[in-house]
Amino acid sequence: MWAYRLAGPGRFERCTVAEPDAPSAGQVVLRTTSGGICGSDLNFFRGGTTPEGTSKDSMFGVPGFPLHEITGQVVASAHPEHAVGDRVVGWAARTDGVAEFVTTSGDEVAAYRAGLKPEIAVLIQPLACVLHAVGAMGDVRGKNVALLGLGPIGLLFAHVLRDRGAGRITGVDRVNRAVLGARFGVDEVVWASADRWARDAVLEPELVVECIGHQAGTLNDAIRAVASNGQIYYFGVADESSQSVDLRRLQRKNLTLRSGITLDRRRALAEADTYLAGHPELESGYVTDVFHAVEIESAYRRALNPTAEQGKVVVRMP
């Protein structure tokens, strides 16, 4: 089967590898149909690695890596809820989705509605993650919110928080997201770095969602800006297992810091599919760039260097 793998920072190469074995109990084999590029993939594209000892530490150069948001058609199943021919969306468990076939856990994919193109259906995976996170925040009705980062994940947070009745939503990004942010429910788009905004912010939001990750600075910006007794949700992916956090300010402001990963993934994906059905505007406004698999390097470069009205970058598999 065909696959692509990182041959060096910013460079993919096509390779031919053996087709997958029959799935083990609980697994499915998918013929991939699309993949969404996540911000957590981009660190690897640049040549970065994860902290020593994590499951991804030795995966640089592995066929299919790095891509975990996928859609596909089941071609073999050892999971009771999935049959051959089903169209599903979810996680490539080994982040090896840039390939013709993927073997993954049947508990990490779910069927999606008929009529959705794969390159649109793939947004169900990040949407499931955002819905899970917002559910963990508790009652957000009437609360003023700040989103650090208005990339694809930040835009979904804006949409879901607006739907859940949040108060004023402010979005902060180093790319001018004024037009795109407004479409997703952001009341004020701030074109600035997170530290500059945190230093100069006049209003103290009751909830700050950190959607950037990769460094401790933006989490500390959230701690600095949020109102006393407020809440911070750290959604961004940390590239280091240990980071320096302003614990003294966190304590003195009586803040709640939350984070986590999406659990019960089949249920979360089904919830996201239902949400998408109720908000068809996401089907036309979220995915803005679709590339073919042979353009994989261009797709990652586009995601790495977003423009003002760029949303989700998706790769269509042949």
Backbone φ and ψ of 69, nearest 5°: -85, 110
Instruction: List CB contacts of 145: < 8 A, sequence separation 6 or more.
Output: 161, 166, 167, 168, 169, 170, 205, 206, 207, 208, 209
| The pLDDT value given to residue 58 | 57
Per-residue pLDDT of the chain (318 residues; tens, 9 = 90+): 999 999 999 999 999 999 999 999 999 999 999 999 999 999 899 987 765 544 455 566 899 999 999 999 999 999 999 999 999 999 999 999 999 999 999 999 999 999 999 999 999 999 999 999 999 999 999 999 999 999 999 999 999 999 999 999 999 999 999 999 999 999 999 999 999 999 988 889 999 999 998 888 899 999 999 999 999 999 978 777 788 899 999 999 999 999 999 999 999 999 999 999 999 999 999 999 999 999 999 999 999 999 999 999 999 998
Q: Which domains does the chain have, with CATH numbers?
A: 2-122+286-316 (3.90.180.10), 127-258 (3.40.50.720)
The two beta strands, 87-91 and 11-16, are unpaired
Does this model's pTM top 0.75? My answer is yes
Alpha-carbon distance of 136 to 250, in angstroms, equals 19
Residues paired with 258 in a beta bridge: 233
Instruction: List CB contacts of 173: < 8 A, sequence separation 6 or more.
Output: 149, 150, 151, 154, 181, 189, 190, 191
Q: What is the largest CA-CA distance in the chain?
A: 58
Is 37 in contact with 68 (CB distance < 8 Å)?
A: no
| The pLDDT value given to residue 57 | 57
| The pLDDT value given to residue 53 | 45
Is 315 in contact with 98 (CB distance < 8 Å)?
A: yes
Is 309 in contact with 302 (CB distance < 8 Å)?
A: no
Alpha-carbon distance of 86 to 95, in angstroms, equals 21
Residue 126: is the preceding peptide bond cis (ω within 30°)? no
Would you state the structure tokens that stand for residue 64, as one six-digit string? 């299919």
Comparing C-alpha atoms, which of 138, 83, 130, 132 is closest to residue 109?
83
Q: Where are the alpha helices (DSSP H) in 29-121?
A: 39-45, 118-121
Where would I find the beta strands (DSSP E) of 17-127? 27-36, 69-77, 87-91, 101-105, 109-111
